[in-house]
């Protein structure tokens, strides 16, 4: 099989590429720049910016059996237009290029944030999670819009499906876990809420394997064509004890202190306002979305993915955390 992976140099995309190559597939990685590491594994790299019109994009997709559209602007602090250009515009462009090049299948990397309304979601199915009337962040809004474009594109000539991996972690995870450790080390991390909320996490190998499982089952009229699915580890975890277990496992101090959700959201609102009007670099230390996300429960019923495309977590949650701790102990967070 010949696969093209957008965002193949990113965290999830890199693991999708690795698993495809390991089973003998031919892989093309499309990104704004070259990724020597994945090319050294045997993937072929092509450069294109999906946030802009790329006349040669259909040519890059010629002869491709499946596209894994993983590329996206991650949930950082940025103007809505920036998210729109990459997450929505880029998805439109890759869908149109698939049609022009005759690509028969596309698997889209979505997110549970596309359905998150700020309230607890415990063991819910895809049918129980409609798109909210009001999105909490530009990232969530644009990923939901992109997911809708992908699912609407399903039809004769192009079968599409979307996956919603949640809070992806693992060895060399570059964003969530290093940030947690750095803020905790600086004394700026507090348990938000009562500390009992449960969440579904996704070990990175499981997230990548879900993409391959979904692609292998996908075809015109297949059970997963035109649908979106939550994918996570088998069981949810209590978030704050899990974070403490990670932190102490890599030699960091445990989390100290607690703040209620209301005060945390108030702090987040102030930070958002300051970052909106002042030339402050980097990310706000708190946002309303982050506060809400860290204080609420959100875990999902996986039966849809199991039934429709044989989704199976490839690594247990405890083993995933132990592998993650071992990697970060060998590669300390600066």
What residue ranges do the domains of the chain occupy? 2-168+200-235+299-315
Which residue numbers are catalytic? 139
Average pLDDT, integer, range 36-45: 96
Give the per-residue pLDDT at 81.
Answer: 92
Q: What DSSP line would sit under 115-129, residue for residue?
A: T--SS-EEEE-GGG-
268-279 pLDDT, tens digit per residue, is: 888 888 887 777
Question: Residue 63 pLDDT > 90, yes or no?
Answer: yes
Average pLDDT, integer, range 191-205: 97
**Cα 204 to Cα 11: distance, rounded to the nearest angstrom:** 8
Q: What DSSP line would sit under 227-265, residue for residue?
A: -EEEE--SS-EEHHHHHHHHHHHTTPPPP--EE-HHHHH
Question: Residue 77 pLDDT > 80, yes or no?
Answer: no
Give the per-residue pLDDT at 286.
Answer: 86
Average pLDDT, the chain: 95
Q: Could you tell me if 45 and 29 are in contact, meaning their C-beta atoms sit under 8 angstroms apart?
A: yes
Residues in contact with 177: Cβ distance below 8 Å, sequence separation at least 6, in sequence order: 169, 246, 324, 328, 333
Give the per-residue pLDDT at 155.
Answer: 97
Structure tokens at 80: 């809505």
Among the residue ranges 84-98, 211-225, 267-281, the one predicted with the least confidence is: 267-281
Average pLDDT, integer, range 289-294: 90
**Cα 59 to Cα 249: distance, rounded to the nearest angstrom:** 48
Confidence band (pLDDT; 50, 70, 90) for 254?
Answer: very high
Closest residue by Cα to residue 57 from 90, 12, 21: 90
Question: Residue 73 pLDDT > 90, yes or no?
Answer: no
Give the per-residue pLDDT at 211.
Answer: 98
Give the per-residue pLDDT at 303.
Answer: 97
β-pairing, 26-31 vs 44-47, is: parallel
Higher pLDDT, 268 or 25: 25
Confidence band (pLDDT; 50, 70, 90) for 75?
Answer: confident
Confidence band (pLDDT; 50, 70, 90) for 260?
Answer: very high
**Cα 130 to Cα 91: distance, rounded to the nearest angstrom:** 21
| pTM score | 0.95
CATH superfamily of 2-168+200-235+299-315: NAD(P)-binding Rossmann-like Domain (3.40.50.720)
β-pairing, 168-169 vs 191-192, is: unpaired
Question: Residue 47 pLDDT > 90, yes or no?
Answer: yes
% pLDDT > 90, the chain = 86
Average pLDDT, integer, range 91-111: 98
């Amino acid at each position: 099989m010949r696969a093209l992976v957008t965002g193949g140099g990113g965290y999830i995309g890199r693991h999708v590429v690795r698993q495809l190559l390991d089973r003998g597939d031919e892989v093309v990685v499309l990104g704004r720049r070259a990724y020597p590491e994945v090319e050294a594994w045997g993937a072929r790299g092509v450069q294109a910016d999906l946030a802009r019109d790329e006349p040669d994009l259909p040519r890059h997709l010629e002869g491709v059996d499946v596209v894994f559209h993983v590329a996206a602007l991650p949930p950082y602090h940025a103007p809505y237009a920036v998210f729109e250009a990459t997450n929505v515009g880029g998805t439109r462009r890759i869908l149109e290029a698939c049609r022009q090049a005759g690509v028969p299948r596309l698997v889209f990397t979505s997110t549970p944030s596309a359905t998150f309304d700020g309230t607890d979601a415990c063991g819910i199915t895809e049918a129980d999670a409609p798109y909210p009337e009001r999105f909490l962040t530009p990232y969530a809004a644009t990923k939901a819009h992109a997911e809708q474009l992908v699912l609407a594109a399903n039809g004769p000539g192009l079968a599409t499906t979307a996956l919603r991996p949640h809070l992806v972690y693992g060895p060399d995870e570059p964003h969530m876990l290093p940030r947690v450790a750095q803020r905790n080390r600086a004394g700026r991390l507090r348990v938000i809420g009562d500390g009992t909320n449960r969440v579904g996490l996704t070990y990175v190998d499981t997230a990548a394997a879900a993409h391959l499982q979904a692609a292998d089952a996908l075809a015109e009229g297949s059970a997963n064509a035109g649908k979106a699915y939550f994918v996570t580890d088998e069981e949810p975890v209590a978030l704050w004890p899990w974070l403490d277990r990670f932190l102490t496992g890599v030699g960091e101090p445990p989390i100290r202190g607690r703040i209620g959700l209301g005060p945390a959201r108030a702090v987040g609102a102030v930070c958002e306002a300051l970052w909106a009007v002042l030339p402050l670099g980097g990310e706000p230390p708190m946002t309303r979305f982050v506060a809400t996300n860290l204080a609420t429960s959100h875990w999902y019923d996986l039966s849809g993915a199991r039934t429709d495309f044989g989704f199976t977590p490839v690594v247990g949650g405890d083993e995933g955390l132990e592998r993650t701790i071992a990697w970060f102990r060998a590669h300390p967070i600066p």
